[in-house]
């Protein structure tokens, strides 16, 4: 019985230490966040941001819960850069009113569990698709839809 108890303690200690591990640069951990993030101020299009995150071993950040999004919004406000930042939300059906927004992570898609777009957003239409998503600085970092190509340049946030 003592041996089993020791194994349980060892296993618990191992799991706990993995949760507290530091992030590998250039990623950093936000206070109270479970993921590691890299916030880039390089101005690129949405498709370029997507590729850059993959190149450093991550993906455009997914904020599956409103709490996660609020932690990042607070960090962006503290940075006070005035920049917008691409994240991993994509519209997969521009013909549906308001779109069908999903988080894209390593090729998998997850339907968004909350809708935290700014006023009048998303506003892309079939003729002028805005299938990418970013934190919009001018509206207190609420989500906005935006063109994915090179025509609109912004910072980006990677997650790992």
Q: Quick one: pLDDT at residue 103?
A: 96
pTM to 2 decimal places: 0.83
What angle is formed at CA 27 by the lines to CA 139 and CA 90, rounded to 5 degrees?
Answer: 45
Asked whether the beta carbons of 149 and 46 are under 8 A apart, the reply is yes
Q: Quick one: pLDDT at residue 142?
A: 94
Residues 6+ apart with CB under 8 A from 27: 36, 37, 38, 58, 158, 160
Give φ, ψ of 144 to 5 degrees.
-135, 150
CA distance 80 to 43: 16
Give the domains, in start order, of the chain with CATH numbers: 26-159 (3.10.100.10)
Per-residue pLDDT of the chain in tens (160 residues, 90 and over written 9) = 443 433 333 333 333 334 446 899 999 999 888 899 999 999 999 999 999 999 999 999 999 999 999 999 999 999 989 999 999 999 998 778 788 999 999 989 999 999 889 988 988 766 677 899 999 999 999 999 998 887 789 999 999 9
């Amino acid at each position: 019985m003592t041996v089993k108890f020791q194994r349980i303690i060892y296993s618990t200690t191992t799991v706990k230490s993995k949760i507290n591990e530091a992030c590998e640069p250039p990623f950093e951990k936000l206070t109270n966040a479970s993921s590691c993030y890299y916030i880039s101020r390089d101005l690129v299009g949405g498709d370029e941001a997507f590729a850059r995150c993959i190149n450093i071993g991550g993906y455009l950040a997914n904020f599956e819960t409103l709490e996660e999004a609020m932690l990042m919004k607070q960090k962006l406000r503290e940075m006070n850069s005035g920049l917008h930042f691409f994240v991993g939300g994509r519209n997969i059906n521009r013909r549906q009113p308001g779109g069908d927004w999903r988080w894209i992570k390593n090729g998998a898609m997850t339907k968004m569990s909350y809708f935290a777009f700014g006023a009048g957003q998303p506003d892309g239409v079939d003729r002028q698709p805005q299938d990418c998503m970013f934190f919009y600085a001018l509206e207190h970092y609420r989500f906005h839809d935006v063109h994915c190509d090179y025509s609109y340049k912004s910072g980006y946030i990677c997650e790992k």
